[in-house]
Amino acid sequence: MHSDRERCVRAVQSRDARFDGWFFTAVTTTGIYCRPSCPAVPPRPEHMRFLPSAAACQQAGFRACKRCRPDTSPGSPEWNHRADLVARAMRLVADGVVDREGVPGLARRLGYSDRQIERQLRAELGAGPLALARAQRAQTARLLVETTALSMADVAFAAGFASVRSFNDTVREVFALTPTALRTRAARSGPPVAGAGTVALRLPLRTPFTPDNLFGHLVATAVPGVEEWRGGAYRRTLRLPHGPGIAALTPRTDRIDCRLTLHDLRDLPTAINRCRRALDLDADPEAVDAALSTDPLLAPLVRKAPGRRVPRTADEAEFAVRAVLGQQVSTAAARTHAARLAAAYGEPVEDPEGGLTHVFPSPEALTGLDPETLAMPRTRRATLLGLVGALADGSLPLGLDSDWEGARARLGALPGFGPWTVEIIAMRALGDPDAFLASDLGVRRAASALGLPATPGALTRRAAAWRPWRAYAVQYLWATDDHPVNLMPREDTPHDVPVV
């Protein structure tokens, strides 16, 4: 996108928010960089430079605009629909892998050399992994400075800086303000959030945005003790590198209000990234809906409720386990099975605000599972144990660095994994926007009602026209039904259901 100068100039001159995060505008006369929708008067085209990332802008010596705050743009949708080396690397950088494990750890996860990763990231993004991680640290520091009452020293180390001096230098360089000045500016809009481990922030997204099926699905399938709907917010526990956390996510028309309670504030970037992925907030709904609207049978569904997102997950291994628990049983039964596992093997958490009690157990914790305690058929017990074993020993890597087709092949080789289970994991855990549930009952029912082929083979052939957005087509097809997964939960929806 950033290399198409004419298109970028038009987007900046029209202040088109659809391109926020796709590219950044560096202004050579002022030394600042902006998002395309910046409300300031656009500079003359000859004074514009277009760069692919905030890190590239910072590395080129530009500082963030104080009006449009380009460092808080939605993430690039490029990393949503790609599974190549650069896309997988960017997902891991956003998850904090470089800060925790360094560039060698990033390279080890991806199976490439440090040099190869550096070269490919620089070629496409104008910055290497260290610069990208530094840009993320700067944004984390800004959030902590503006939303908490932590001392600046605590902010520096929580954001991942090696010293207070490097923290001060980076903040001044990126934002043209000292950390104290940043906090003073933020204080004009209200006091910081109370609580040493609590951060409140807004998660930006691209409009249009229809949250009904997104939150409906998450709440209707919520595991008691791990997830709940309370006070208009979807709340869930998170397993994070330095300890457990709790996220409360409230949908608005143009954003998600997010409140994070963390055991260790070093986990803030990782928690934000996992919340964004769970809600599919970096999607480009304009591109998705434009492609699906070319089909005359889907177009009315898109016009009725544009901007549907794919309900994903904050923990890939957790979702895979829950997908197996949900095979051939009702939603209520699947919740009950999952809640029992969470209560027996999950890490306990304290939640003074609600009814969350456990983090969903890791595959390693589930390796001690006694199959005789599972109230399910013997064949499904074997399927679950096979999955847990493969996840625990590393032979089935499911994560941000997963190759989608490779993961599909490994899943399909496990006993008890058919096309539906493989594709639901690809769609909701791996984040493949082209995953397609041709054999799903709800999809087939909707297809038949719309006049689409209802058999899996014929429907798959017909759905080729929807590529690479078939996972979004599934959301529109599902939404033709009045099942609770498609409906926005009401404020008075019960927090959970009893476990029996």
10 Å CB burial of residue 138 (0-12, 13-18, 19+) is: buried
DSSP-derived 3-state class of residue 359: strand
Distance between CA atoms of residues 110 and 118, nearest Å: 12
Q: In one letter, which amino acid is 449?
A: A
Distance between CA atoms of residues 275 and 259, nearest Å: 10
Distance between CA atoms of residues 258 and 275, nearest Å: 9
Catalytic residue among 20, 280, 440, 496: 440
Distance between CA atoms of residues 216 and 233, nearest Å: 11
> Is 289 an active-site residue?
no
- Are β-strands 198-204 and 63-64 bridged in parallel, bridged antiparallel, or unpaired? unpaired
Phi, psi of 308, rounded to the nearest 5 degrees: -70, 145
* Residues forming beta bridges with residue 204, ordered by sequence position: 255
Are 480 and 446 a contacting pair, CB within 8 Å? Answer: yes
Are 101 and 135 a contacting pair, CB within 8 Å? Answer: no
> Is 34 an active-site residue?
yes
| Residue spans of beta strands (DSSP E) within 180-302 | 198-204, 227-230, 233-240, 243-251, 255-262
Catalytic residue among 8, 34, 68, 275: 34
Are 349 and 356 a contacting pair, CB within 8 Å? Answer: yes
Instruction: Provide the annotated active-site residues.
Output: 34, 440
